[in-house]
Amino acid sequence: MPPSDIALIGLGVMGQNLALNMARHGYRVAVFNRTASVTERFLHERLAGEPIEGAPTLADLTRRLSRPRKLLLMVKAGGPVDAVISELRPHLEPGDIVIDGGNSHFLDTARREEELAAAGLKFIGAGVSGGEEGALRGPSIMPGGPREAYEAVAGILTAIAARAPDGSPCVAYLGPKGAGHYVKMVHNGIEYAVMQLIAETYDLLGRGLRIPTAELAGLFAEWNRGELSSFLIEITARVLAHPDPESGRPLVEAIRDEAEQKGTGRWTVQDSLDLGVAIPTIGAAVEARILSSMKQERTAASQVIQATARRPRRSQAHVEDARNALICGLVCAYAQGMALLRAASAAHAFGIDLAETARIWRAGCIIRAAMLEEIRAAFARQPSLPNLLLHGAFRDQVREREASWRRAANLMIECGLPAPATTASLAYFDAYRAERLPANLIQALRDYFGAHTYRRVDREGTFHTDWTEGGPGTRENTPRNS
């Protein structure tokens, strides 16, 4: 029996579908799962004739592979990844390549690459997005690590990746160390923001304007045929149209309003704070999930805290305002994500190409959208573009919809509907375009209580004032950090 081209460890649904994807593109795949019955069931149920074989142990798995060995891990992030690597190391030799296809934290990926490099092994952290269907039919793949390691597996990754409308594969080398997992982390942060913006729009149209859920399904389907065309808008329409088999009513209405999270959105916000990059739409989406999880407390509060809110009459103008607000919010979400990638690329020496990042997000991944082709083109033409809001096409899109955006946000507030991502997006837009912000007062207050100093608009230097009545006044100071 000829040796296998690649091994896959971890036969969850994603792992199974990736194995099938590779096999269907002509690669021989050896698979292993810690629970042997899972491997046996997978091999029994898969379609006949596919070049996939099971291995009872990791030692046996490595013996089945051609050199240099290539092993793809599809296991839970954190300790399980380290555990599998530890068990594999005695059976590997210099030049072998380990790929982590899970949602690992980028710093863990950088550490693992360094540790394995000391033993002559190569490590790739590859973000994989697309869910179960994407894993089988073609995901968006975001690899980072040693370039020579990527080149050795590029043929396999390119073969199984999604294809964008122009036919290009949605995979690209993104940079050293944890670059691939960093890009996947930010992808997921944008995903949080997009879903929250969609949910707030659904809430305004449903609870605010009293549009029936079945009708909303048709509305989102219509929106998906225009500028909002995207995977998440498409499946929103499908979800809203899906009936509950027991009651016949829309199933979404029977689902508890508690959104879970696995941590990648939180990681995105945490690193943005470390880098000093504002991503308020993404942050608001993470906090909205936290608030949603407080179901019991929220239910109790609803009985004792009464809000003054109005329910306006439905109008086509209100619906159009909601659509425009959603478009503007999405622009801000992508703008924030790309700004964070730019800052992180510089801080961590990743060398991330933002145009390439947008290119490989155009198909396969959860945040794929028609808007990403415009984003790709913007960064291809202006690689040093600091923010999407400064690019002509996006600047014009927002300018044309600004008044409508404000009306929708105001309507959400008047209806008493929580809209953290929509309002955070608008605040981000207003702050980013503001020549002057009220931070002058904040700096004066900091100087008052902590002598933190300030700078003036009319001359150079750093100053401190004794703000108490009768104090000695203002004096120039040496800069201090605070």
Distance, in Å, from the CA atom of 181 to the CA atom of 409, rounded to the nearest integer, reads: 34
For 8, residues 6+ apart whose C-beta sits below 8 A from its C-beta are: 15, 18, 19, 22, 29, 30, 31, 32, 71, 72, 74
Cβ atoms of 432 and 388 within 8 Å: the answer is no
Q: How far apart are the first and last CA of the chain?
A: 66
Does residue 304 sit in helix, strand or coil?
helix
Distance, in Å, from the CA atom of 480 to the CA atom of 337, rounded to the nearest integer, reads: 31
Query: What is residue 4's DSSP assignment?
Result: B
Q: Name the percent of the chain in helix, strand, coil, to the closest 5.
A: 55, 10, 35
For 233, residues 6+ apart whose C-beta sits below 8 A from its C-beta are: 198, 220, 223, 224, 369
Which of 191, 200, 234, 374 is flagged as catalytic?
191
Which of 113, 184, 200, 374 is flagged as catalytic?
184
For 107, residues 6+ apart whose C-beta sits below 8 A from its C-beta are: 178
Max CA pair span of the chain: 92
Cβ atoms of 267 and 241 within 8 Å: the answer is no
Distance, in Å, from the CA atom of 417 to the CA atom of 471, rounded to the nearest integer, reads: 48
Distance, in Å, from the CA atom of 170 to the CA atom of 365, rounded to the nearest integer, reads: 9
Distance, in Å, from the CA atom of 470 to the CA atom of 441, rounded to the nearest integer, reads: 21
Distance, in Å, from the CA atom of 438 to the CA atom of 436, rounded to the nearest integer, reads: 7
**Residue 191 annotated in active site:** yes
Amino acid at 208: G
Does residue 142 sit in helix, strand or coil?
strand
**Residue 177 annotated in active site:** no
Active site residues: 184, 191
